[in-house]
Amino acid sequence: MIENGTSIKIENDNKQNGTVIVEMQHLKKSFGNNHVLRDINLVVHKGENLVILGQSGTGKSVLIKCIVGLVEIDEGKLMIFGQDVSELKNKELVKIYKKIGFLFQSGALYDSMSVRENLEFPLRRQMRSMKKKEMDVLIKEALEDVGLEEAIDLSPSELSGGMRKRLGLARTLILKPEIMLYDEPTTGLDPITSKEISNLIMEVQKKYNTSSIIITHDIECTKLTANRIIVIKDGVCAAEGSYEDLEKSSDPWIRSFFE
């Protein structure tokens, strides 16, 4: 366990086994005078679930948005599948982004489309030559994965909060991503549904062997899903370790997350 450091040493991360899928070195991002990410260093290994904890407004969501190019980084290095993102051309970037799935905090379902159309949309955009029958098979499989087979013809407004999250997950899984980014997957859900979503995250990891970054405040979700945890404070990685390590941390601020 490393804690109270201004940055996590990458050498320590590399001690773990497995291929590094995502790597951030001295990543910085500011919005005007608001320095959200000051010096972020982290790695995610293949098949690993990395949970990022931190108070609201510490830039956790910004951090994962940097990975998919929704937010541009100011300084530092971002490596995905061993390739430096800043050195890649647009076409190469698109190829990389196709391997990344993003579950938004709100689910980000397209309100004007039905459940089926929501799932068809990424397929139509990214696999333009795919036939309708092939699409139907993938849609059915994705809905089965999240237990929403019967909701196929409903509209997003007819779904509950948990169902919306599951549909958001299905829409992401349909493209078989290698990296999954979860932005507060259990926020706004009751404890039972939260547990269901957390279990679903684990099932996804097992079935698709995805590497995941999970942004959450939910300590139950963290306990269920985390292989490793990083705590962000004041724009830097303040602590890193397993759930058991951080739970017994000598730092009362870090311990407060687990109480």
Partner 1 sequence: MEKIIFMQTNYEKQEEKAKQDNSSIIISDSVFRKFFIEVYSITIFTLRFFKEVLKPPYEFNELMKQSFLIGYKSLPLIVITGFIIGLVLTIQTRPTLAKFGAESWLPAMVAVSIIREIGPVITALIFAGKVGSGIGAELASMNVTEQIDAMQVSDTNPFKYLVVTRVVSATLILPLLVIFADAVGLLGSYVGVNIKGNVSAYFYFSQVFQSLEFADLFPAIIKTFFFGFAIGLIGSYKGYNSNKGTEGVGKAANSAVVFASLMVFLIDMIAVQITSLLQN
Which residues contact partner 1 (rule: CB under 8 A)?
65, 68-70, 94, 97-98, 100, 102, 104-106, 108-112, 121-122, 125-126
Cβ 144 to partner 1, closest distance in Å? 21
Cβ 164 to partner 1, closest distance in Å? 10
Cβ 123 to partner 1, closest distance in Å? 9
Residue nearer to partner 1 on the CB measure, 5 or 69: 69
Cβ 124 to partner 1, closest distance in Å? 9
For 214-253, give one letter per residue: b (16+ CB within 10 A) or e. Answer: bbbebbebbebbbbbbbbbbebbbbbbbebebbbebeeee
Cβ 125 to partner 1, closest distance in Å? 5
Residue nearer to partner 1 on the CB measure, 19 or 106: 106
How many residues are given for the chain? 259
Residue nearer to partner 1 on the CB measure, 104 or 243: 104
Residue nearer to partner 1 on the CB measure, 77 or 98: 98
Q: Which residues contact 192 (CB under 8 A, 6 or more apart)?
A: none
Residue nearer to partner 1 on the CB measure, 80 or 100: 100
Of residues 258, 176, 158, 215, the one with CA closest to residue 42: 215
From residue 135, how far is each of 125, 169, 175, 204 by CA, in Å? 12, 17, 11, 20
